[in-house]
Structure 1
Amino acid sequence: MKLPDFEAWAVFASVVEHRSFSGAAVALGVSKATVSKAITRLEERLGTSLFHRTSRRLTLTDSGQQLAEHAQRILDEGQSAEEAAFESASAPSGLVRLAAPLTFGVRHLAPLLAEFMAANPQITVELTLSDARVDIVAEGIDVALRIAELPDSSLRARRLGPVAIHVVGAPSYFDRAGRPLHPADLARHACFVYTNMAMPGTWRFRKAGGEEAAVRVDGPLRTDNGEAMLPMLLAGQGIACLPSFLVDADLAAGRLEAVLADWVAGSVGLHLVTPPGSRRPVRVEALIDFLTERLRSICVREA
Structure 2
Amino acid sequence: MELLNDMALFVEVVKAKSFRGAAEIIGVPNSTLSRRISTLEKAIGLRLLHRTTRRIELTEAGQIYFERCKRIVDEARLAHEQLGEMLEQPSGLLRVSLPVDFANTYLAPLIADFARQYPGISFEFDLTPRRVDLVAEPFDVAIRMGEPEPSHMIARPLARLRPYLYASPHYIALHGKPANPSELGQHECLYMLKGKVWTLSNGTETVEVAVDGRFRLNSIGLIRRLAALGMGIAILPEEIVSDELADKSLQRILPDWQGAPMSVYAITETRLLPAKTQRFIEFLRSRLK
User: Which structure 2 residues correspond to residues 270-289 of structure 1 after superposition, within 5 A?
Assistant: 270-275=264-269, 277-289=270-282
The answer to whether residue 244 in structure 2 is matched with residue 246 in structure 1 is: no
C-alpha separation between the residues in 2 aligned to 1:232 and 1:118?
A: 34
The answer to whether residue 103 in structure 2 is matched with residue 108 in structure 1 is: no
C-alpha separation between the residues in 1 aligned to 2:272 and 2:264?
A: 23
Contact 1:84 1:281 in 2 (8 A): no
Q: Give the unaligned 5+ runs of structure 1.
A: 1-82, 297-303
Three-state SS of the structure 2 residue aligned to 1:261 is coil
Contact 1:233 1:240 in 2 (8 A): yes
**TM-score of the aligned structures, taking structure 1 as reference length:** 0.60
Q: Could you say which residue in structure 2 is the equivalent of 1:173?
A: 171
Q: State the one-letter code of the partner of 2:286.
A: E
TM-fit CA distance, 1:221: 1.7
C-alpha separation between the residues in 1 aligned to 2:219 and 2:178?
A: 24
Three-state SS of the structure 2 residue aligned to 1:192 is strand
Cα root mean square deviation, aligned: 2.6
Residues 52-90 of structure 1 deviation map (CA, whole Å, 9 limit, x = unaligned): xxxxxxxxxxxxxxxxxxxxxxxxxxxxxxx97951365
TM-fit CA distance, 1:239: 1.1
Q: State the one-letter code of the partner of 1:274.
A: T
C-alpha separation between the residues in 1 aligned to 2:91 and 2:225?
A: 42
Q: State the one-letter code of the partner of 1:202.
A: V
TM-fit CA distance, 1:114: 3.2
TM-fit CA distance, 1:187: 1.6
The range that moved more, 97-106 or 283-292, is: 283-292
C-alpha separation between the residues in 2 aligned to 1:227 and 1:175?
A: 23
Q: Give the unaligned 5+ runs of structure 2.
A: 1-78
C-alpha separation between the residues in 2 aligned to 1:96 and 1:191?
A: 39
Q: Could you say which residue in structure 2 is the equivalent of 1:236?
A: 230
- CA change 1:216–1:134 in 2 (3 A) is farther
Contact 2:92 2:120 in 1 (8 A): yes
The answer to whether residue 144 in structure 2 is matched with residue 150 in structure 1 is: no
Contact 1:97 1:126 in 2 (8 A): yes
Three-state SS of the structure 2 residue aligned to 1:245 is coil
The answer to whether residue 160 in structure 2 is matched with residue 162 in structure 1 is: yes
C-alpha separation between the residues in 2 aligned to 1:107 and 1:236?
A: 19
Q: Could you say which residue in structure 2 is the equivalent of 1:96?
A: 94
- CA change 1:168–1:224 in 2 (3 A) is same
Give the total of aligned pairs.
209
Contact 1:149 1:267 in 2 (8 A): no
Q: Percent identity?
A: 32
Q: State the one-letter code of the partner of 1:293.
A: S
C-alpha separation between the residues in 1 aligned to 2:232 and 2:80?
A: 54
Q: Could you say which residue in structure 2 is the equivalent of 1:220?
A: 214
Residues 29-68 of structure 1 deviation map (CA, whole Å, 9 limit, x = unaligned): xxxxxxxxxxxxxxxxxxxxxxxxxxxxxxxxxxxxxxxx
Q: Which runs of 4+ in 1 moved over 6 A?
A: none
User: Which structure 2 residues correspond to residues 50-65 of structure 1 after superposition, within 5 A?
Assistant: none
Q: Could you say which residue in structure 2 is the equivalent of 1:205?
A: 200
Q: Which has the larger radius of gyration?
A: 2
Contact 2:164 2:257 in 1 (8 A): no
